[in-house]
Amino acid sequence: MSTITTHDGTEIYYKDWGEGPAVTFSHGWPLSSDAWDGQMLFLVQHGYRVVAHDRRGHGRSSQTSTSNDMDGYADDLAAVIEALDLRDATLVGHSTGGGEVARYIGRHGTSRVAKAVLIAAVPPIMVKTEANPEGLPIEVFDDMREALFNDRSQFYQDLAIQFYGANRPGAGISQGVLDQFWLWSMQSGLLNAYESIKAFSETDFHDDLAKFDVPTLVLHGEDDQIVPVKDSAIKSARLIKGAKDVYYPGAPHGITATHQDQLNAELLAFLRS
C-alpha cells in the first residue's frame, strides 16, 4: 500500500496512476480516494498522471485525533504533492475536497499549481452567520452530528439518497452506487467524520479564494441538496478572479458519479485549454 508520512506522523494513503501532466484529486466527506476512480481512469486513458489520497481519518489513512480541520487537510495535500514532487499540477476537489484545495492555495500558494477545479465545493462558507445570512442554520450540522453519533450506518445510507438525488422523480442512480457510498463512508473514523463536519461547514474560505491566481473551473449541480449552489459555487465564482463556472440543471451533489461522462469531458477540455 502506498503511503507518505506527514510531519506529525500521520500515514496518508495515496494512489498514483499514469504518466503525463499531473492532476490531484481531493475527495468529498466522508468518502475516500476511490470516489474519484471514474475520473482517474478516464484521464489516465487520455495521457495524464492522476494522484488521489485518502484524507486523514478517511479510507486507508490513519485515524488521527488531531488536525481534523481544513488547515490539517491542506497540509496533508501539500505533503503528498511535495513527496511526489508534483509540479504544474491541476488540483481538483469535490465538496469538502474543494475546501481542501482552496485552503491549500491559501496556505501554500500556487508555485506547484497550474489550474484548479472546484466541484460541488463547500467554499466560501456553508453555515449561516451574520455575514452569510443565506447559509444553512447550525442546527442542520448539529443534527448531522447527532445522527452520525447515534447510528452512523443508517445515517450514511440515508445521506447517500440525498447525495445522489435518488429521492427525486426519475432519478436513475443504481443501488450499487448507493451501496458503495455507504461502504466508503463506513471506512472513515467516527471521530474523524464527526470533527470534519465542523471543518466543512464552519471554515471561512473567503481569504483563500482571493488568493487564487491560476485558471479555475467551478462546476455545480443546480439541485444539490447537500451544498446548495446559491450559497457556494455562485459566490465562489464571483470571488475567484477569472473563474469559469458551469452549472448542471437538475443535477445533485454527487455529479462525479451521476454525470460522470459529461463531467469527465468538461474536465478534459479544461485541462487541455
| Residue 222 three-state SS | coil
Mean of all residue pLDDT scores within the chain: 97
Pick the catalytic residue from 95, 185, 188, 236: 95
> Distances from the Cα of 182 to the Cαs of 34, 152, 155, 185, 269, in angstroms?
12, 10, 9, 5, 31
Can you count the helices (H) and strands (E) in the chain?
A: 11, 8
Average pLDDT over residues 38-48: 98
Q: Per-residue confidence at 181, pLDDT binned at 50, 70, 90?
A: very high
Q: What pLDDT is recorded for position 203? A: 98
Distance CA 210, CA 236 (A): 9
Task: Indicate the pLDDT class of residue 1, thresholds 50, 70 and 90.
Answer: confident
Enter the C-alpha cell of residue 215: 485558471
Q: Tell me, what's the pLDDT at 172?
A: 87
- Our answer to whether residue 231 is catalytic in this structure is no
Is the pLDDT reported for residue 144 higher than 90?
yes
- Structural domain harbouring 179: 3-272
The whole-number average pLDDT for the span 115-126 is: 98
Q: Is the pTM of this model over 0.85?
A: yes
Q: Please report the pLDDT score of residue 118 as a whole number.
A: 98
Number of domains in the chain: 1
Encode pLDDT of 13-33 as tens digits.
999 999 999 999 999 999 999
26 flagged as catalytic: no
Query: What are φ and ψ of residue 71, in 5° steps?
Result: -65, -45
CATH number of the domain enclosing 125: 3.40.50.1820
Q: 69 pLDDT band (50/70/90 cuts)?
A: very high
Q: Please pick, among 53, 220, 253, 259, the residue that the annotation labels catalytic.
A: 253
Strand partners, 92: 25, 117
Angle made by CA atoms 242, 253, 166, in degrees to the nearest 5:
155
Strand, coil or helix: 114 = strand
Percent of the chain predicted with pLDDT > 90: 99
- The verdict on whether 94 is a catalytic residue reads no
Q: What percent of the chain has pLDDT over 70?
A: 100
Give per-residue pLDDT as tens, 228-258: 999 999 999 999 999 999 999 999 999 999 9
Name the catalytic one among 62, 224, 236, 259: 224
Crossing angle of helices 152-163 and 138-150, in 10° steps, is 130
Question: Reading across the β-sheet that carries 89-94, which strands appear in turn?
Answer: 3-5, 11-17, 49-53, 22-26, 89-94, 113-119, 216-221, 244-248
